Amino acid sequence: MTSDTDGRTAVTFSAAGARAGFRRCLPVAAGVGAYGLVFGVVARQSGLSVAEAALMSATVFAGAAQLIAVELWADPIPVAAVLTTTVVVNARYVLMGAALRPWFARLRPSHSYGSVFFLIDETWAVTMGELSEGRGQGAFLVGSGVAVWLFWVAATVAGASVGAAVGEPSRYGLDFVLPAIFIAIAVGLWEGKSTLLPWVVAFAVAIVAAGALPGRWYILAGGVAGSLVEVIRVGR
């Protein structure tokens, strides 16, 4: 392990780091692929062609936002509603990006900013785990993101291709795929009882906000509340 002159772990951006991220994230990517099937089915049932669904997954690469967009799809498209809802849902990425800054600030701007296309919940979680353990592989996010992206696009195509025949995804338990992935990742991020309070606060605030606020504001509310509690806890 190497360190900068200030004693912090050095952060590199290399092909080896990207390969490590790709291999590490393959099991998670397979699970995300199952979620991609759901998106493909819903997109097809909402009127998108297979090519349109695949293009959306390849360029947007944001599962929850894509599902919300296609669920709101209509003729004419409610642009204001789609944009507002997806901005709210994706606001959590501001917090995720801030969490990566201590490491990514030491990379070249082209590397750090070029990596954020692959910043989603799953790749953020595994990358934070990698960096927190002191391995300093800045390209880990890109490698893990490429693995998930490939599964996501391929699964979208598969889901959209059979969308009419599948019917309601919940009949096959596919609607539980994403929560299952998050639970598995959360177990890996668990650091002991000292971090229990932020988790509990985030969960409680999200539950209350889900019943009190319209749309997906509960995601942002829970994330902000948990983050603030953690900042206060660490600052003591």
pLDDT in tens, 89-112: 777 788 889 889 999 999 999 999
Handedness of CA 43, 46, 52, 56 (dihedral sign): negative
Same domain flag for 124 and 198: no
For residue 10, being part of any structural domain is answered with no
For residue 165, being part of any structural domain is answered with yes
Same domain flag for 145 and 233: no
Same domain flag for 196 and 109: no
Give the residue from 157, 149, 121 showing the smallest Cα distance to 43: 157
For residue 86, being part of any structural domain is answered with yes
Same domain flag for 201 and 184: no
State CA 156 to chain mean position distance. 16
Same domain flag for 26 and 102: yes
For residue 116, being part of any structural domain is answered with yes
Same domain flag for 164 and 223: no
Same domain flag for 178 and 198: no
Q: What global pTM score does this model have?
A: 0.70
Give the residue from 85, 21, 73, 78 showing the smallest Cα distance to 49: 73
**pLDDT for position 15:** 94
| Token pair belonging to 224 | 């902000």
The counts of H helices and E strands in the chain are 12, 0
Number of separate domains in the chain = 2
Same domain flag for 45 and 144: yes
For residue 7, being part of any structural domain is answered with no
For residue 9, being part of any structural domain is answered with no
Same domain flag for 47 and 93: yes
Same domain flag for 162 and 214: no
**pLDDT for position 42:** 82
- Say how far apart CA 196 and CA 201 lie, in whole Å: 9
Write the CA distances from 19 to 15, 25, 116, 132, 147, integer angstroms: 6, 10, 17, 18, 10
State CA 75 to chain mean position distance. 29
The low-confidence residues of the chain, meaning pLDDT below 70, are 1-9, 74-75, 81, 85, 163-192, 194, 215-216, 219-220, 234-236
User: What is the extent of the structural domain holding 226?
Assistant: 192-236
Q: Which amino acid is at 22?
A: F
Same domain flag for 173 and 72: yes
For residue 5, being part of any structural domain is answered with no
Report helix, strand and coil shares of the chain as percent, to nearest 5.
80, 0, 20
- Say how far apart CA 18 and CA 153 lie, in whole Å: 19
For residue 39, being part of any structural domain is answered with yes
**Cβ neighbourhood burial of 179 (10 Å; 0-12, 13-18, 19+):** exposed
Same domain flag for 68 and 151: yes
Question: Which residues lie below 8 Å from residue 92, measured CB to CB, with a gap of 6+?
Answer: 219, 220, 223
